[in-house]
Amino acid sequence: MIRGNRPTGRSLDPGSGLDEEFVSMDGGRRIRVVRAGTGDGPLVVFEAGMGSAASQWNHIQRELSSRYRTLAYDRAGVGGSDAADSRPTLERMVDDLTQVLDALGETGPVLLVGHSWGGPIVRVFASLHRGRTAGLVLIDATSATVVSGAMAVLNVAAFGVNSLLFGLGRTQAFKRGLLPEGESPEIAAADMDIMWRDLTAPRIARAGRREAQEITSSLPLLRHLERQGGPAVPAVVLQGSRRHGTWEARMRDRQNAAAEEFAVAMPDARLRLIPGAGHAMTHEQPNAVVASVDEVIERISGR
């Protein structure tokens, strides 16, 4: 299904059981949306990590769409979505998400699921639109204490290198680094192929680099959110516990400590540590994400 005129965005196979459509945005650009499922509960909205597309969620989205309405989308410049002329600040990305929901008539409360950089995006949305937020699931969400300083610079550099390597078709080292122990056996090979298709495209690395360049400018807002807490809605904060080597162990300890702090600051949040999971929990332990969405919807229904 296509909304508006013929999109300038690209059509991409979303995988079995998932439907692609395009939403018209300001300036005439198009955002690619993937929807599936039916149900009476809140719409489940997935927000991918930095430099990731809607296909990050294809397995999880399909699992949850058997009982809920679900929506994933490619941010500006990612996957099949047109790039925006403006800088991809947190506020601008939240504005895009709001426009997508408005265009689809989804003005009621939604359950927001954010991974990595998607965590701050959904937290800003929840802060600005408390009446439209039914619940939150945060998956190894980015925190100001972890990405400040040198880490922000390293993120920009990493996406720059990836853009060059992907353009040369050299992707194996990236894949091994992202999933050092491989993906969960529950995820179909076809879903992994679609995810890698999007994640190793030079275009997505360039978009990720643009997003990473905004980390430093976003730090004041991130720190404010972490001090403020969040809306009094059911929430689950998911963190991995895997520690491979000194660097990952140090980063994991910092990330989990930050997650514990903002989970405590949120009025109705529960922290969950997932054994054996690293940053790519959506593909290492997808059942933990599915169970957390089920839990939050059950808590919403019990209110």
- Indicate the Cα dihedral angle 287, 44, 54, 121, nearest 10°: -100
When pLDDT is cut at 50, 70 and 90, the band that residue 303 belongs to is: low
How far, CA to CA in Å, does 239 sit from each of 5, 78, 228, 248? Answer: 42, 26, 20, 13
How far, CA to CA in Å, does 105 sit from each of 100, 183, 292, 296? Answer: 9, 35, 26, 23
The predicted-structure confidence for 145-156, as pLDDT tens digits, reads as follows 887 766 766 777
Longest dimension (CA), the chain: 53
Annotation: CATH topology of 19-301: Rossmann fold (3.40.50)
| pTM for the full predicted model | 0.92
Task: Indicate the domain borders of the chain.
Answer: 19-301
Is the separation of the CB atoms in 217 and 258 below 8 Å? no
The predicted-structure confidence for 255-285, as pLDDT tens digits, reads as follows 888 888 888 889 899 999 998 888 899 999 9
64 CB-near residues (< 8 Å, 6+ apart): 37, 44, 70, 290, 293
Residue 5's pLDDT is 37
Is the separation of the CB atoms in 196 and 171 below 8 Å? yes
The predicted-structure confidence for 186-233, as pLDDT tens digits, reads as follows 999 999 999 999 988 888 888 888 888 888 888 899 888 888 888 899
Residue 49's pLDDT is 94
